[in-house]
Structure 1
Amino acid sequence: MSWSDFEKIDMRVGTIVKVNDFPKARNPAYQLEIDFGILGIKKSSAQITALYKKEDLMDKQIIAVVNFPKKQIATFMSECLVMGVYGDNNDIVLLNPERKVVNGSKIG
């Protein structure tokens, strides 16, 4: 991968504003709505149920890739990819800024 390839990936900070169960997902997941400020609200499916309860995710800032094509997941259209680290048992630990920043801020 070249540096110019990396620069094509648009990673932004957003705040989770809505969390729903996603019973039709193949693996346990939530449906998220994330506020990316000037980019608006985008939806994402995230397999993060092992470490996060719905109420713990509300108002949490996360990092996501916002310029991948939309992806159909069961009956849901995912519009961004929430970023995380594979922890113990391959459970996802969300990436997030260490302090509150403006929604839509670009990762660089």
Structure 2
Amino acid sequence: MLIGVSMNTSCATALATRAVRSRKSALDHGGEGVRVNAVHPSLTRTQMAASIVENEETLAAFRQRIPMQRPAEPAEVADVIAFLASSDARFVNGAHISVDGGLGASNGHPRMF
């Protein structure tokens, strides 16, 4: 599941196009033994996200919306990718896996109670 966020139209279109293309590739090439899956991480503690995770006020706003109340660690995202690349996922094809601490299971609003 993809969660809509405030972004420009071209970025949103690119993300949606990527999701459709990965599903289409899974359908087109599954019979050849090619598996195509997508991983959708939310806020992850990386150098690219440093301006968010190092700013306590901004990080607090994210924590209110992520049910696990923290950003992902890079190893947590990598573990999902490693699983998908392994023989344990040999029948997984066309999946979109959110690595988002439960954000996709919510409506994205902060917890009220």
TM over 0.5: no
- TM-score, normalised with respect to structure 1: 0.22
- TM-score, normalised with respect to structure 2: 0.22
Kindly indicate which of the two structures has a greater share of residues assigned to helix: 2
Higher relative contact order (CA 8 A, sep 6+): 2
Kindly indicate which of the two structures has a greater share of residues assigned to strand: 1
Structure whose CA Rg is larger:
2
